Structure 1
């Protein structure tokens, strides 16, 4: 799949997720096989560009190409200016958020709330595409609610305005993350447009990725929640799509090394206090499928010290690797 001049290979993409797809996680997922990793959404409001949080999100030093930055807002000119601002900071692809279903986003008429107003969608995508010379992508849902699945109409608007690629989550805004994703609308969008298409929603295994690609005709899959605690899923999917074979699950020692590197990157970016706090959710995700996860989470969540959190994590996975019993 190509987005502008960028070849996205493998065609397995990390979805933008607020509070998750920061630079350490994007770098990790790219290293483990993602062909593209989209940033967590950044605000289009210039009053917030110079906060510590926004400046941290705008740090792309050391990230492998292509650097894709998602912007969120409701005003076409404000979004156009945000696109220019982020390109100036190193963004090589600009992604427009029209997929987030969160109330705090939709209540200010951003994210998937925009799908209610096709005229505004057209003005936004046209303004952003015109504002920058880099490719502009768009992430949407299938519609506002199940009675108003207007994803095909939005996709045509996007293509006509010059959007370089489209990502579609197989739920409406009203569905939030409940129930099962549906792929019929994504397939209908594939039939309606010629630009590259990424299918998103409930893709949690190599087999599911292959099935969704076959069912929708999409050019790539986009992985969100399934990558939380399992960033090697990108390599697993890429290998399966290429060979039809499954990779062996990573050993506890391999998971330990991945996680230790992730913790080090979090501490380096956020500092000890915030880094330890942010690491807790990742530690919980890494351990969530293990019988001992409750005990592990209790231990690692009980410290505010990076060295202690690191030691406890290393000890936990060392004991798993050695086949030792873990205390409850």
Structure 2
């Protein structure tokens, strides 16, 4: 599969997620054969103002390529300038966020709020495409709410504006992540435009991925919450596509050892104080569904050092294996 001039090895992508898809998590997913990694969303205006914290989020390593950096904003001049700045970064693709439902994002007219103003959305898209030397992609939702479903309209505007591929999450902004994702809207968009369409929403298993591809005819799939604590999903989906065989779920040892490895990478990247706290949610995801995991998760939420977390996880693994 290609997006613009970027050749991709497979069509199973990691969705951009604020507070989740930082460098360590992206590298973990890359090891599991993820075809395209997306950064956390980057505030275009903050980037233009040379904000240090924003620049830290833009650290990209050769080992994770190809990478798409996602920017958000609703002012064409800032979005265009941000695209220009990103020409000097090593990401291969630039993505525009028009899907984030978070109140702090939409209150400024950014994220999914931009879908309510197709004319302004078009100006933003054209400004980014004009100033980027890299392929530009777009991520949208089904619409604002049940009365304002305009994903097909926005998709057509995107194609006409020079966007190279479009990702669609099959929920409205009003739904957030509740209810069921509407895959029919993905199918409608696929029939309406000729650029690659990436389907997103409710992919938690290998079977979900196959069902989405079959039902929507989309060109690629994008996995968000389904990858949390489960980076193996990329490898398992790709293996099924190549062989028709579904690999077994990761073992308890694989889950714990990956959580420990992920923690170590996070400490290297963010420092112990930040990493131990940031990793609490990831560890909870890795432990989800495992025997007696609620207790160890609660204990880890109170721990503040790397060594203690590793000791707690190893102790938990030993206890579980003893009980088998």
* TM value normalised by structure 1: 0.95
User: What pairs up with 1:106-121 in 2 under 5 angstroms?
Assistant: 106-121=106-121
User: What pairs up with 1:125-136 in 2 under 5 angstroms?
Assistant: 125-136=125-136
Q: Which runs of 5+ in 1 are unaligned?
A: none
User: What pairs up with 1:226-241 in 2 under 5 angstroms?
Assistant: 226-241=226-241
Distance 1:100 1:40 in 2: 11
**Cα contact 1:142–1:168 (8 A) shared by 2:** yes
Q: Tell me the C-alpha RMSD between the 2 structures.
A: 1.5
Q: Which runs of 5+ in 2 are unaligned?
A: none
Match of 1:290 in 2: 290
**Cα contact 1:253–1:318 (8 A) shared by 2:** no
Distance 1:238 1:47 in 2: 35
The answer to which of 156-165 and 241-250 deviates more is 241-250
Distance 2:272 2:94 in 1: 31
Cα deviation per residue 1:88-126 (whole Å; 9 max; x = unaligned)? 122211000001011111111000000011111111111
Match of 1:213 in 2: 213
Distance 1:47 1:243 in 2: 43
Distance 1:286 1:171 in 2: 26
The 3-state SS of whatever aligns with 2:209 is helix
Change (3 A) 1:63 1:55: farther
**Cα contact 2:13–2:221 (8 A) shared by 1:** yes
Structure 1 residue 255: Cα displacement? 2.0
**Number of aligned residues:** 324
Runs of 4+ in 1 over 6 A off after TM superposition: none
Structure 1 residue 10: Cα displacement? 1.8
Structure 1 residue 191: Cα displacement? 0.3
**Cα contact 1:12–1:221 (8 A) shared by 2:** yes
Distance 1:128 1:110 in 2: 15
Distance 1:15 1:233 in 2: 13
Distance 2:318 2:241 in 1: 32
Match of 2:60 in 1: 60
Structure 1 residue 48: Cα displacement? 7.3
The 3-state SS of whatever aligns with 2:147 is coil
**Cα contact 1:115–1:154 (8 A) shared by 2:** yes
**Cα contact 1:199–1:222 (8 A) shared by 2:** yes
Change (3 A) 1:109 1:63: farther
